[in-house]
């Protein structure tokens, strides 16, 4: 009888571990990188919990894309309003009354788009959500094109953050960045191989009817499509 009870307990634990290993939280902004990450997680056979944040950015066009895509894919999706943090995080052109700079990401003026400590905050919240739903990983769309300008997208940050998330809770959660060491061009290459349609994504820092084509985000996106000999489905000014 005791052996049967122990066997039943072990089977139950194994099933719970298997279930937890299949659940992932995807930080999903509605941009083309996180759109690809979302679909990569689905292709990997994961049970996806998509998580988007309104952190007080100047427009919510990305968030609208995220909601539409998750509804179409029948993916569980939460949009969390944390815009109150802007009382603490000042000085970014993405959230403050500062003009959005034009130019390539490697240009010095692009540093104005950095939101202080943003990704550490978003990852911390995503990990908390992962623990609450029993997910073993948080998928995060950092890539090499971000390294030059955003400190919290660099491999050193992701690795250290992952270390912390192994001990921050009783349940360890892995920060998984499938495109950490490749470019936006490579991300798009993978997305096109998956047959993804990028018409319901938004990348531009400006929230006008059409993408500006001049900010760092637009330039990098257009460069990725050119490198892939593909046409960007978005309209530009």
117-143: pLDDT as tens digits: 788 889 999 999 999 999 999 999 988
Is 15 a domain residue? no
147 confidence band (pLDDT: 50, 70, 90): low
pLDDT score recorded for residue 11: 44
CA 210 to chain CA centroid, Å, is 23
Q: What region does 218 belong to: left with phi over 0, alpha with psi -120 to 50, or beta?
A: alpha
The enclosing H or E element of 175 equals strand 174-176
Is 118 a domain residue? yes
Q: What Cα–Cα distance (Å) separates residue 4 from each residue in 12, 13, 183?
A: 12, 14, 53
Domain carrying residue 177: 20-227
CATH number for the domain that contains residue 150 = 3.40.50.620
Is 63 a domain residue? yes
Q: Where are the alpha helices (DSSP H) in the chain?
A: 2-22, 32-43, 61-73, 118-133, 155-165, 184-193, 216-227
Instruction: Look at 106 and 199; give whichever has higher pLDDT.
Output: 199
Q: Decide: helix, strand or coil at residue 232.
A: coil
Is 7 a domain residue? no
Name the domain count of the chain: 1
Is 4 a domain residue? no
- Geometric angle at alpha carbon 83, from 81 and 88, rounded to 5°: 145
Is 216 a domain residue? yes
């Amino acid at each position: 009888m005791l052996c049967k009870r122990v066997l039943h307990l072990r089977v139950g634990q194994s099933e719970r571990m298997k279930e937890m290993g299949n659940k992932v939280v995807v930080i999903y902004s509605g941009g083309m990188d996180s759109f690809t990450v979302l679909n990569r997680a689905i292709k990997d056979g994961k049970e996806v919990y998509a998580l988007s944040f309104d952190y007080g950015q100047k427009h919510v066009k990305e968030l609208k894309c995220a909601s539409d895509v998750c509804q179409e894919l029948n993916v569980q999706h939460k949009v969390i309003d944390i815009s109150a943090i802007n009382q603490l995080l000042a000085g970014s052109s993405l959230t403050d009354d500062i003009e959005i700079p034009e130019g390539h990401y490697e240009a010095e003026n692009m540093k104005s788009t950095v939101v202080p400590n943003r990704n550490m905050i978003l990852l911390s919240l995503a990990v908390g959500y992962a623990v609450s739903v029993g997910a073993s990983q948080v998928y995060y769309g950092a890539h090499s094109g971000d390294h030059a300008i955003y400190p919290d997208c660099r491999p050193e940050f992701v690795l250290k953050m992952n270390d912390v998330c192994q001990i921050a809770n009783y349940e360890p959660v892995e920060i998984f960045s499938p495109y950490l060491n490749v470019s936006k061009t490579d991300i798009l290459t993978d997305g096109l191989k998956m047959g993804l349609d990028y018409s319901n994504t938004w990348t531009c820092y400006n929230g006008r009817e059409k993408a500006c084509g001049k900010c760092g985000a637009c330039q990098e996106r257009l460069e990725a499509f050119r490198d892939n000999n593909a046409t960007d489905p978005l309209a530009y000014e």
